[in-house]
Amino acid sequence: MLGRRPTVAGPAETNHAPLTAAGATRAMEAVLERVLEARLRQARDTDAVFALDMADRLAAYVRRGGKRLRTAFVWCGWRAAGGSGDASAVLRTGAALELLQACALIHDDVMDGSPLRRGAPAMHVDFARGDRAGRTGGSAESFGTSAAVLAGDLALAWADDLLTETALASPHGPRLFEEWRAMRTEMVAGQYRDLRAQASGSSGAEEALTIAVLKSARYTVARPLALGASLAGADARTLGALRAAGRCAGLAFQLRDDLLGAFGDPALTGKPADEDLSARKLTPLLAVAVRLARTTGDRDAAAVLAPGADARPGHTVERMRAAMERTGARAEVEARIAGLAASGLRHFEATGAAPGVRREFAALVERASGVAPQQAEELV
């Protein structure tokens, strides 16, 4: 079957390579829409109730979008490795990543009990509301949780199907699939380590870093770069530079996300600002704050950052924010973000990518980390 074109492809997918990462993202949206329409037709042929209740809901969730950063990083990796011409495999890989991201977010919200995602009710909340309105028996919350787990599974199935079709149609399919397979395992490992750390009340910096790398840095930047590079048949040197660039840029992204989770505006982030703090989720930000509280002898900060510090969530969150400011944890994490962003740019330059591709990568790193490239270089 190698060399056979995927059946859901449209003619627009054979266009020449988009000239920018933003262009690749726009082109991916068109591919994703065609894939969703094909999957919805299949769902309607399977069962009308399932199609209406779940498949349509999942498609709407995916269409609500997000940052769409992963597709842009796939394009950067492909171009850095010399990719040019037909970009259909790049766009389809980006679409598969968006479907995988839907799975990850839906399941993550179930595990965290998060009420909001992308400015709207989380999937399990949406299912529960629909059940509460249409039924009289059983627990709407239990139904919502179970249905959301299935919706996440469906998103994963759609993602795997699309990536497999893409790999089968590519001369570099085995390498593409190996990157994909490793990424899926890392995602699960990172999510488990996150749950385990939260259950144990861990504050360890090494554990926080492991979770950040497995759950976010590799998945958001490093693996997408490598997926794109694989489609161009990248050599070991280029792949090594891209992995290093992706780890640095991905960690910068995660640290920024940690700061937004603690101090961000829900109107801009689309999710509650106090969620990570009220749950005392282990992040590098929390680990830094705990370390600084202990080394500076700030007993009040150490106490409020400890597991089970206060039974009043709002009160605890405000005190945790104040402790992170007072200990200097927020400032230290900001400095780390700048250093990681700058390191990511240097590693990417080592690929020998053309200046235009390097500029595109720098713009993406700025978007992900909140630090302009020039500012990053000045702060390290």
pLDDT value for 358: 97
Task: Look up residue 43 and give its two tokens.
Answer: 């769902």
Lowest-confidence segment of 96-110, 117-131, 322-336 by average pLDDT: 117-131
Q: Quick: pLDDT tens for 188-209.
A: 999 999 999 999 999 999 999 9
pLDDT at 130 over 90: no
Q: Give CA 81 to chain center in angstroms.
A: 23
Q: What is the radius of gyration, based on Cα positions, of the chain?
A: 21
Lowest-confidence segment of 236-240, 245-249, 314-318, 320-324 by average pLDDT: 314-318
Query: How many angstroms separate the Cα of 255 from the Cα of each of 94, 215, 224, 277, 336?
Result: 23, 12, 19, 14, 8
Determine phi and psi for 86, rounding to 5 degrees: -65, 120
Lowest-confidence segment of 46-50, 248-252, 368-372, 375-379 by average pLDDT: 375-379
Q: Quick: pLDDT tens for 9-34.
A: 343 344 577 889 999 999 999 999 99
- Across 236-247, average pLDDT: 97
Q: Quick: pLDDT tens for 147-199.
A: 999 999 999 999 999 999 999 999 999 999 999 999 999 999 999 999 999 99
**Domains in the chain, start-ordered, CATH in brackets?**
21-369 (1.10.600.10)
- Across 89-105, average pLDDT: 97
Strand partners, 120: 117
* pTM of this structure: 0.90
- 58-79: b (≥16 Cβ within 10 Å) or e: bbebbeeeeebbbbbbbbbbbb
DSSP 116: E
CB 36 within 8 A of CB 43: no
pLDDT at 312 over 60: no
Please choose, from the candidates 67, 53, 113, 7, the residue with its C-alpha nearest in 3D space to the C-alpha of residue 250.
67
DSSP H helices, the chain, are 21-46, 48-50, 56-63, 69-80, 88-112, 123-134, 140-168, 173-200, 205-212, 223-231, 236-263, 266-269, 275-278, 284-295, 299-305, 313-326, 329-349, 355-369, 373-379
